[in-house]
Amino acid sequence: MRIWILQAALALALAFSAASEGQAQGGEAAQDSGDEPAKAYVVSEIAPHDTERYTAYLRQVLPLMETHGGRVLVSPFSPARVIEGRALEGNFAVLEFPSVEARNAFWNSPEYQAIKPLRQGAATSRIIHTD
């Protein structure tokens, strides 16, 4: 059930993103040219219990994510409302990367590995990678 909720939320976020891109391109739906690699996503549910340390983590992780082509599709600070199933146990976020390789390069980078313990010590997290 938990995975279904996250999958549904990710599908909605992706549909919204595709619709926004289509409007930016003259109102037509964005087409996959086949030349670009498939995008990759990080879906997270994070419940901070030490906001000071979690804020320090965010200050470092967001610029690092951007250097790998990542962007926030669904902000953890946007209100999220569960309409079916169990309540969220934390803040919900969706990050998009231009490819699986870019996401994995970010996730496995020495820079991220150095700051990851800040999040782990400041929050309870559930992180899901999906393509």
Q: What's the confidence (pLDDT) of residue 29?
A: 39
Contact by Cβ (8 Å): 105, 40:
no
Contact by Cβ (8 Å): 92, 9:
yes
Stated pTM of the model = 0.71
Q: What's the confidence (pLDDT) of residue 35?
A: 73
Q: Which residues sit opposite 93 in a β-bridge?
A: 44
pLDDT tens string 84-126: 999 999 999 999 999 999 999 999 999 999 999 999 999 999 9
- Cα distance between residue 115 and residue 117, in whole Å: 6
Q: How far apart are the first and last CA of the chain?
A: 20
Q: What's the confidence (pLDDT) of residue 106?
A: 98
pLDDT tens string 29-72: 344 556 778 999 999 999 999 999 999 999 999 999 999 999 99
Contact by Cβ (8 Å): 50, 121:
yes
